[in-house]
Structure 1
Amino acid sequence: MKLTLIRHGETEGSRRDLYYGAADIPVLPDSLKALEEKAKAGVYPTAGHYCISGMLRTVQTLRALYGDVPYTVLPGLREMDFGDFEMRAYAGDLENDPAFRAWCEDAEHNVCPHGESVPQVLERSLRAIQPVLDAGEDTVCVIHGGVTSGLMMHWFCGTRYDYSPAPGTGFQVTFRDGKPESYIHIG
């Protein structure tokens, strides 16, 4: 089985280096156009099944890459809820926020105020992806960078930065007997 994980297209949040996950913001029009062009060039693999997190940016990216294909919404694959840090940038905003600095002391484990922690996101992501893996059908999931990097770290070790996909990129993971065996970069 091949499971393709693609990060949604570029948003105002990614362009401005904002912390955003729960905010349901759209993909920028120029990014959608670029994704459509890459899709026409055959950059992205197809599959028998498509999944999204349900956020607007994942719907838009799926449509730009694959057109009007049927899809399944897996809300457990939504990006991390950054709580009080949502739609805020480090530079000029969060860098002097004591709550942000406390969170950064161990951002991999601390819970964002009124938000989630990395382990909470990984746990819900693993629960959400398990039925897809159990089905054993080649699947494309258009999801989020943090979710993708968390799953890849869980399956292949390394750090978050080893698997942080740029907008419109991701990984295709080959599973054999339900276990992740190898991966290639997509996009």
Structure 2
Amino acid sequence: MKSQIHLIRHGITEGNQRRLYYGAADIPLAEEGVQRLKELVKEGIYPQAEEGDFYTSGLRRTEQTLALIYGEREHETIPQLREMEFGDFEMKSYEDLKEVPEYVEWISDKSGNAASPGGESIAGFSTRISEGLRILRGKHQLKELSVRHSGKEAVSVVVCHGGTIASIMEECFPGRREHFFKWIPDPGHGYTLNLEKSDIVTYEIF
């Protein structure tokens, strides 16, 4: 059986506009983000998902993005798919932090094990996203079972975050990109994961 999981990054926020570190901060979409999503909907870039199951990370920017793209939909939240938490660095920019010793130490770490004060390490974030992906795939498999004899394709739509999507793609397609950050889609864009017999085999960009 073939099926699809669509991963969509939320629209533009103040955090994107001001180039801030933000993950746990529950900020809404900026007006620019709302307008850009409406434009992308008109361009028809989003996969059809009339019979799909819908998920968000539970943060406002993902809830708003889902509603703008697909309308008000019943959906579940998967908190494990939230963005990386930056602790004391939340809603601050490089310029705000560049002379803070804890920040300098954090960005200089190459092991992935250093955490921002009150926040997550890269390793801890990756572990959490792996758990979120496991939960998502389990729910998607239930969808596959529910449509097995209907002739329809199982579809799941997940609205989450840039770092979350990059971590998922890096796990599913190791070695396909040179660097984690190259997997991060633009706001409002994302990837379609194509599955065969519940295994993720290829992807498409939208």
For residues 1-60 of structure 1, the C-alpha deviation after alignment (integer angstroms, 9 at most, x for no partner) is: 211111100000011100000000010122212212311332101331110000000001
Within-5 A mapping of 1:127-138? 127-134=131-138, 135=141, 136=144, 137-138=154-155
Corresponding residue of 1:168: 188
Corresponding residue of 1:124: 128
- The CA distance in 2 between the partners of 1:60 and 1:37, in whole Å, is 15
- The CA distance in 2 between the partners of 1:119 and 1:2, in whole Å, is 28
Within-5 A mapping of 1:30-69? 30-47=32-49, 48-69=52-73
Kindly tell me the number of residue pairs found equivalent between the two proteins: 185
- The CA distance in 2 between the partners of 1:129 and 1:161, in whole Å, is 19
TM-score by length of 1: 0.93
Which deviates the most, 149-158 or 118-127? 118-127
Within-5 A mapping of 1:134-149? 134=138, 135=141, 136=144, 137-149=154-166
Query: Percent of pairs identical after alignment?
Result: 37
Kindly state the Cα deviation for residue 131 of structure 1 after the two structures are TM-superposed. 3.3
Unaligned runs of 5+ in 1: none
Which deviates the most, 173-182 or 48-57? 173-182
For residues 123-175 of structure 1, the C-alpha deviation after alignment (integer angstroms, 9 at most, x for no partner) is: 22222222332324311110001111011111112321220111111111112
- The CA distance in 1 between the partners of 2:7 and 2:65, in whole Å, is 12
Tell me, what secondary structure is at the counterpart of 1:45? coil
- The CA distance in 1 between the partners of 2:205 and 2:54, in whole Å, is 18
Tell me, what secondary structure is at the counterpart of 2:85? coil
Kindly state the Cα deviation for residue 70 of structure 1 after the two structures are TM-superposed. 1.2
Aligned equivalent of 1:104, options 96, 104, 107: 107
Unaligned runs of 5+ in 2: 145-153
Which deviates the most, 163-172 or 126-135? 126-135
Which deviates the most, 112-121 or 102-111? 102-111
Tell me, what secondary structure is at the counterpart of 1:152? helix
Kindly state the Cα deviation for residue 77 of structure 1 after the two structures are TM-superposed. 0.7
- Structure number with greater Rg is 2
Tell me, what secondary structure is at the counterpart of 1:96? coil
Kindly state the Cα deviation for residue 183 of structure 1 after the two structures are TM-superposed. 0.8
